Amino acid sequence: MFDFIIPAILVILVLILLTTNIRVVQQSKAYVVERLGAYHATWGVGIHFKIPFIERVAKTVSLKEQVVDFAPQPVITKDNVTMQIDTVVYFQITDPKLYTYGVEHPMSAIENLTATTLRNIIGDLELDESLTSRDHINTKMRSILDEATDPWGIKVNRVELKNIMPPKDIQDSMEKQMRAERERREAILQAEGQKASQILVAEGEKQSAILRADAAKQAAILEAEGAKQAKILAAEAEADAIMKVQQATADAIKLINAADPGEGVLKIKALEAFAAAANGKSTKIIIPSEIQGLAGLAASAKTVFDAEEPKA
């Protein structure tokens, strides 16, 4: 019976040994394998078999981009202002072998390197420059850290200054300065608003005056045209009346000529005209144009009167 138990136990042990030495490497991970204490290989994604008692997985490395947030570090600016700055570093392991054997405690090394680099950069800048040059500081730190961590198999993709905390008195001064700046800007905006309002009011009054002047001009033009039309109509009416009078006179003359009046009738009409002219109150001197005719008329009248008187 023991002849069957011992081989079965051996088979089970071999199966357990084989299954425990099979490794499946997941996506975005890498295994650093040592053989007899020396680096042997880096296993990528897939299934691998480890030789028992000879090979071992020295380190499991994540190939994903990682983010580490370091505690605030005290730094001194060029103008001797001490402030606290904490940084965030985005990095990725590109060489698992160098990451495993290149440096002891890589995260601590990166943290110390970041603090040292930050102090060197901020030490060359004044406070105002430090507060307004974040992009410059981030770019410079990323370049220096990436170059320094390259022998460790680490690539620094990005560095960000998370917080910049000046001393309390500096913060108070900055707040007062910002408040004064906001008040100044508010005053400028109010002045510009009043200026714009006054300009708009002046432009409105100007446009109103122009419109009033145009209206007065149009009214004067219309009034002048009305007076002109009235004079034209009055002149046309007067001319029409004169023409009608002249036409009536002409028609009367035609009728008289057609009736063929005698010389006596014409002389009587002339005397009537003289009587009508002399009827006014003012003194008038009338000299007839046909003096001989009037003289003849007077002689004829005298003859008639003499014939009618009784003889003595």
Output the pLDDT for position 304: 44
Cα torsion 196, 202, 203, 204: sign: positive
Output the pLDDT for position 308: 47
- How far is the C-alpha of 160 from the C-alpha of 26, rounded, in Å? 31
Cα dihedral: 140, 141, 144, 147 (round 10): -110
Domain ranges of the chain: 2-61, 65-166, 168-259, 261-279+287-312
| Digit-coded pLDDT (tens) for 187-200 | 999 899 899 889 99
Instruction: Name the class of domain 65-166.
Output: alpha beta
Output the pLDDT for position 143: 93
Output the pLDDT for position 290: 52
| Spans of the chain, pLDDT less than 50 | 291-292, 301-302, 304-305, 307-308, 311-312
pTM exceeding 0.95:
no
- The most distant pair of C-alpha atoms in the chain lies apart, rounded to whole Å, by 224
Output the pLDDT for position 261: 59
